[in-house]
Amino acid sequence: MLSTLLPAIVDAVRPLPVLASGGIADGRGLVAALDLGAQAVSLGRRFVASAESNVVPEYRERIVRARAADAVFYEDLYDVGWENAPHRTLRTRAVEEWETAGRPPSLARPGEGTSIGIDHRPWGDVEVKRYAPFMLAPTFEGHSEYAPLWAGESCELVNDVKPAGDIVRDIVREAERVLRAR
């Protein structure tokens, strides 16, 4: 948990600056991270739900509708070519089918190795296999219910899609309100 690890990391690497990441999506999280010793923060999923984000609109909307409980932790689900990289994603048809099959390990998962679509990259088309880790960008053409929808528990705090500049201004305003209320 960020509130436990952050002070220990700050102490361990002092005088180096620390950037806090994970679970921060609003001004309260910004103030908390700074109070715990961070010099800056990184906000991931909050900016996936920005108007400028290079993801398909469906992914943005899923982040906005999601609650913290919808961002499920997996040790090894979307791990083709990315082994030993635990992650959180929203539930999709791929997750449901894998869970229904009893959460089998890599190489034994439902539909593993089958194509879920094509990612049209500048250097050429790339076939995307089921359980491959990639970002669901507008360049993808295929079955998005089998793509990873990366999301942390901070999706609970993301309730709209708006321009990135507005997100930053809102976070700063909320942080200032929190600090004035002390």
pLDDT in tens, 23-78: 899 999 999 999 999 999 999 889 999 999 999 999 999 999 999 999 999 988 99
pLDDT in tens, 141-151: 999 999 999 99
In the chain, where the domains are located? 1-52+162-182, 67-150
Residue that has been written with the tokens 């034994």 in this structure: 108
Q: Residue 38, Cβ neighbours under 10 Å: how many? A: 22
Element (H, E) at 28: helix 27-35
> Mean pLDDT throughout 111-138?
95
pLDDT at 7: 96
Predicted model pTM: 0.86
